[in-house]
Amino acid sequence: MESSTPRPKLFSFLTHGLFLIPYALDYLKGIWNGKHKPYPTYAGDGRDGIYPLRAADGGEAIKISIAGDWGTGTNEAFQVAEKMSAFQPDYTLHLGDVYYVGDDREVKENFLGQMTDRYTPVSFPKGSVGTFALVGNHEMYGGGSPYFGEMLSYCRTGTGESQKASFFCLETAAWRILGLDTGYNSFGIPVLGVIPDVVPNFPFFKTDCHLPEELLDWLRTNVKPQQNKKPTLLLSHHQYFSGFPKEEGFRRPAEQLKEFFAGQDVVWIWGHEHRLAIYDRFSPDGSVQCYGRCLGNGGMPVETGDPDLKKAPLAFYDPRSDYPIGDGTHAGWNGFLNLTLHGSILTLDYRDLENRQLFVERFFGHSDGSLQNTYQTPVPMLKQPTS
């Protein structure tokens, strides 16, 4: 039952003007304290950090619900969490970002569902078997310790343990899901580079979100994607590319992943950019050929506007811009993804916060790691861009 204590209004998260000032002190504290260390990793024993996926009912179909950029603590985040739970998922996954700087209070209010002193809290829904969370840039703005402490303790792997690190591998006999950490190296002065109202967009302030060396060593030692090929779904916070104006891709992680996925297509779902977008098979630099999906519409005001078709081959997107977020302002619609793994078939069912079906697609995985993609027609709600 909901408390009458108010939650923050969605429009207050529009990153313009003076809204960011109250968070400046927490951000400066994060810079002073530095990133959380030591960086948690796994034993190089060939198996640590690899978790077998299973259905709670013992059946063959495994259900996973995923949201990105969800941790705002708003009523919209609450509604998305309710609809994710209605799917009765075996697992839930968060693609990262607890706002605004991922400090202890915000993690409690906006992810763990623990009351502090301001708002009715919202908890990230737990799967009946397991729950995982990636780290985004916003958790790292405060240094990342609440993520690596309280949030990972909240998450469960399905093996009786809490999540140990900010990356992981989930497997069935037919599929592999890799959670990657692009957030740890998105911290520091580069935050100013994404606030054009505050600081000019100079290259000095940029970050490349490169994958930590511990993660790469784990891929080489434990997961071994080249030696043991499987159809693969990558999950990360930051996008490889974007088909929208004023948005940039982060190519360095793909360059690092090339050694593991050369000659293999993958599905890659990311957040960070606050919208829902479906791309055709693409690689902007030849590093990783992927079916990119942007799922950053979980909790922040959803961005609107026309795509730039010269940047990336956008297949479908959510064009709606009529969701009232308060203060007379409108934005796009928040949402999430319900995923089902049944043998070699991966089904992705994209939904909005009212649980309306937006787009359904399937990937048929083969033993050599190759993929075949189809989508349901007619498309329920997403639109194809017009040239």
Q: Are 296 and 275 in contact (CB under 8 A)?
A: yes
Tokens of 58: 């013992």
Q: How far is CA 228 from the centre of its chain?
A: 25
pLDDT over 80 at 387, yes or no = no
Q: How confident is the model at residue 1 (pLDDT cuts 50, 70, 90)?
A: very low
* Structure-token match 């959510």, residue found: 318
Please give the pLDDT value at position 205. Answer: 56
What pLDDT digit, counting tens, does each position of 86-122 carry? Answer: 999 999 999 999 998 899 999 999 999 999 977 899 9
What is the average pLDDT value for the chain, to the nearest integer?
91
Tell me the Ramachandran region of residue 217: left when phi exceeds 0, alpha when psi lies from -120 to 50, beta otherwise. Answer: alpha
Q: Are 278 and 318 in contact (CB under 8 A)?
A: no
Tokens of 24: 């400046």
What pLDDT digit, counting tens, does each position of 345-381 carry? Answer: 999 999 999 999 999 999 999 999 999 999 999 999 9
What pLDDT digit, counting tens, does each position of 178-206 carry? Answer: 999 999 999 755 445 444 344 444 554 56
Alpha carbons within 13 A on the beta-carbon side of 184:
21
What pLDDT digit, counting tens, does each position of 255-310 carry? Answer: 999 999 999 999 999 999 999 999 999 999 999 999 999 999 999 999 999 999 99
Distance CA(369)–CA(266), nearest Å, equals 8
Distance CA(311)–CA(38), nearest Å, equals 38
Tokens of 136: 């985004």
Entry field: residues in the chain: 387
